[in-house]
């Protein structure tokens, strides 16, 4: 019922920037909670950032000061602006929505070259 599709991944040099976007389709109401997770092979999926419709945001410590999450409630779209990227940020990034359960996008690859 809720479909999420990420875009904006790619290859960047360390220190560079990248912006990810995710559009949700299906719900006709504002999604209460949206965010981003990331996962590398052999590791558990890690919460990167969340942003509630009311405006409250959270970040994992490793990205604080470098990543910024934002959203357009009217369009149920969420963004992740990533700056000062590090090789450790390399992962598949997944869009997440919490609304009557958990929903996930298909993921977009972000590769930071050292």
Average pLDDT per 10 consecutive residues for the chain, totaling 114 residues: 95 98 89 97 96 97 98 94 98 96 96 96
pLDDT at 4: 96
Decide: residue 71, CB within 10 A, 0-12 exposed, 13-18 middle, 19+ buried. Answer: buried
Neighbours of 13 (CB within 10 A): 10
Cα–Cα distance, 67 to 51 (Å, whole number): 12
CA-based nearest residue to 82, from 22, 18, 12: 18
State the pLDDT at residue 91: 98
């Amino acid at each position: 019922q809720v479909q999420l599709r990420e875009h904006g991944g790619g290859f960047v040099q360390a220190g560079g920037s990248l912006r990810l976007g995710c559009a949700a389709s299906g719900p006709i109401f504002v999604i209460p909670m949206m965010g981003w997770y990331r996962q590398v092979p052999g590791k558990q999926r890690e919460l990167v950032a969340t942003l509630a419709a009311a405006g409250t945001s959270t970040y994992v410590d490793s990205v604080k000061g470098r990543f910024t999450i934002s959203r357009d409630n009217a369009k149920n779209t969420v963004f992740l602006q990533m700056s000062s990227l590090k090789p450790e940020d390399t992962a598949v990034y997944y869009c997440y929505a919490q609304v009557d359960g958990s929903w996930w996008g298909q993921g977009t690859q972000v590769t930071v070259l050292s």
